[in-house]
Amino acid sequence: MSTLTVLEPATEAVLAVIPRADAEAADAAVARARAAWPAWREVAPADRGRLLHRIADALAASAEALSVLEARNAGKPITDARSEIGMVIDTFRYYAAAPERHTGETIPVGGGIAMTFREPLGVVALITPWNFPLNIAAWKVAPALAAGNCVVLKPAELTPLTSLELERIALAAGLPEGVLQVLAGPGSTAGTRLVEHPDVAKVAFTGSTTVGRRIAAAASETIKRVTLELGGKSANVIFADADVAAAAAAAPSAVFGNAGQDCCARSRILVQREVLDDFLAQLGEHVRAIRVGDPLDETTVMGPLISAAQRETVASYVPSDAPVAIRGEAPDGPGFWFAPTVLSPVRPDDRAVVEEIFGPVAVIVPFSDEAEAVRLANDTIYGLSGSIWTNDGAKALRVARAMESGNLSINSNSSVRVSTPFGGFKQSGVGRELGPHALESFSEVKTVYYATGATG
């Protein structure tokens, strides 16, 4: 095997050198998973639940070390990393309760009884990105295991370290060999092979819409089940009757959190014209106050971008003649830094308005009335999340129903909870993660008819 050099984005220093998995490694992992599956699917539901609890306990015991590793490898503030690792633990606990609740139905039919079972799929491939490495892995791994599948997890090459730790921790907690394997290798080799492999029953992927399209096409060859969590260009709609101060205070973290590398980033801020100047003035104060710096400093709010390539991509949306209305701070020196930036006024067909930037760049788009707000919010190929700020409850619900988006918040920018479904409309993806929906998506419904001779 060749090696993979993992960098620390805040310093550009080498954090680890690890073996790089290739297509052959993917084949071997699928074969091991396939061999482990018959025994794993037979583990009694309560025992499977207990194992997931043991993994959660072991993760909790390593929470600080995992948080520091995630902060260093992904360049995210340590306070964010801690809350993400907290969610990882909560996700395992939530799905630890699932195996015993994964029930079927009985359905009245003539001549006997029909019943349904929720069967595991077999070997599932989970392909994750670098922005929330262990968090997004847990959203997929925990329900996949709870439903009785064997898992091959392929983290992004840039951030494989906490996923490798998860594998080690889960095995030490008692998960049988072959039930969860982590393949740290490139998408172009290890990832592609998993998607093509005839013994892989499902691919659950989070990443770019471009790669998502490729995966959907390749998975169709073997009619694999597919869950795709893809890009976004979410709207943060602020009406004039909102608490403008609250909306302005909350807007920066909704787009500059994780340095904007968040599929839910509210990167299009739609503001009703009457309050545009007031909103921009307040937003400017909050953006300029964002502390950008060392991820391990407890006071840091925003870290660097993940890589030099990502910084180059983000910079292409802010050319020298860009209408920069607000610019925050960024350190000099090594590290992939980019200052939080707000563009206004911007033409509706500007790339910065249309495309997912995946960096700390927001655009301001003014609107006149409710109809125009809805039209602009929906004027995108994406539909992942979004927010509505207003003190008119009926309007809030009207607009929430009209927005073509999977996850909306009213007077808040939060999108994701362990117990509620998460996923996109339109080209933001297919299927739902988290909540009860994820468990369903990692199983197949089987109908069994038992002839009893009865009529009915």
Dist. CA 106–CA 298, nearest whole Å: 54
User: Do residues 70 and 134 lie in contact, with contact meaning Cβ atoms separated by under 8 Å?
Assistant: yes
The tokens describing 286, both together, are 């909050």
When binding is defined by CB under 6 A, the residue of 211, 226, 343, 374 that contacts ligand NDP is: 211
Here the tokens at position 241 are: 């009757």
**Which of 229, 264, 356, 433 does the annotation list as catalytic?**
229
Q: Which residue is nearest to ligand NDP (CB)?
A: 187
> Is 192 among the residues that bind ligand NDP (CB under 6 A)?
yes
CA dist., res. 186 & res. 183, Å (int)? 9
At 65, list the tokens. Answer: 């070390």
Binding to ligand NDP by CB under 6 A, coded x per residue (else -) over 253-282, reads ----------x-------------------
The distance of closest approach from Cβ of residue 159 to ligand NDP in the complex, given in angstroms and rounded to an integer, is 9
CB closer to ligand NDP, 390 vs 415: 415
Q: What amino acid is encoded at 129 in this protein?
A: P
Stretch that binds ligand NDP, among 226-234, 274-282, 336-344, 385-393 (CB under 6 A): 226-234
Q: Is 150 a catalytic residue?
A: no
Q: Is the dihedral of CA 366, 372, 374, 379 positive or negative?
A: negative
Q: Which helix (H) or strand (E) holds 45?
A: helix 45-61
403: how many CB neighbours lie within 10 A of its CB?
22
- 39-59 burial by CB neighbour count: b if 16+ within 10 A, else e? ebeebeeeebbebbbbbbebb
Residue nearer to ligand NDP on the CB measure, 288 or 417: 417
Q: If binding is defined by CB under 6 A, does position 157 make contact with ligand NDP?
A: yes
**Smallest distance from ligand NDP to CB 76, Å:** 13
CB of 199 within 8 A of CB of 30?
yes
Size of the site for ligand NDP (CB under 6 A): 27
Radius of gyration, CA atoms only, the chain: 23
Residues 26-85 that bind ligand NDP (CB under 6 A): none
Q: Is 12 left (phi over 0), alpha (psi -120 to 50) or beta?
A: left
Candidates 121, 134, 156, 200; binder of ligand NDP (CB under 6 A) is: 156
Where does 138-193 show beta strands of DSSP type E?
150-154, 180-182
Q: How far apart are CA 385 and CA 233, in angstroms?
A: 8
49, 120, 231, 252: residue in contact with ligand NDP (rule CB under 6 A): 231
Interface stretch with ligand NDP, choices 49-57, 183-191, 395-403, 406-414 (CB under 6 A): 183-191
* 356 interacts with ligand NDP by CB under 6 A: yes
Judge contact between 152 and 194, C-beta under 8 A: yes
Enter the tokens of residue 60.
Answer: 């909790």
229 included as an active-site residue: yes
Residue 358 binds to ligand NDP (criterion: CB under 6 A)? yes
Record the tokens describing residue 101, joined without a space: 């609740």
Complex with ligand NDP: residue 310 or 441, whichever CB lies closer: 310
Tell me the C-alpha to C-alpha distance, in Å, between residue 148 and each of 100, 141, 152, 170. Answer: 11, 11, 13, 15
Q: Which of 34, 41, 214, 327 binds ligand NDP (CB under 6 A)?
A: 214
Q: Which one of the listed residues 263, 264, 356, 433 is annotated catalytic?
A: 263
Q: Is 131 in the site for ligand NDP (CB under 6 A)?
A: yes
Q: Spell out the residues 6+ positions from residue 296 whose beta carbon is closer than 8 angstroms to its own.
A: 68, 71, 72, 78
Distance separating alpha carbons of residues 241 and 238, to the nearest angstrom: 8
Stretch touching ligand NDP by CB under 6 A, among 150-158, 276-284, 372-380, 400-408: 150-158
Stretch that binds ligand NDP, among 32-40, 53-61, 153-161, 399-407 (CB under 6 A): 153-161
Indicate the burial class of 444 (C-beta count within 10 angstroms; 0-12, 13-18, 19 or more).
Answer: middle
Nearer to ligand NDP, 23 or 287 (CB): 23
Q: Is residue 187 near ligand NDP by the rule CB under 6 A?
A: yes
CB of 231 to ligand NDP, least distance (A): 5
Q: Using the rule CB under 6 A, which residue among 127, 151, 377, 396 binds ligand NDP?
A: 127
Of residues 312-331, those binding ligand NDP (CB under 6 A): 313
Give the residue numbers marked as catalytic. 229, 263
Residue ranges binding ligand NDP (CB under 6 A): 127-131, 154, 156-157, 186-188, 191-192, 195, 206-208, 211, 214-215, 229-231, 263, 313, 356, 358
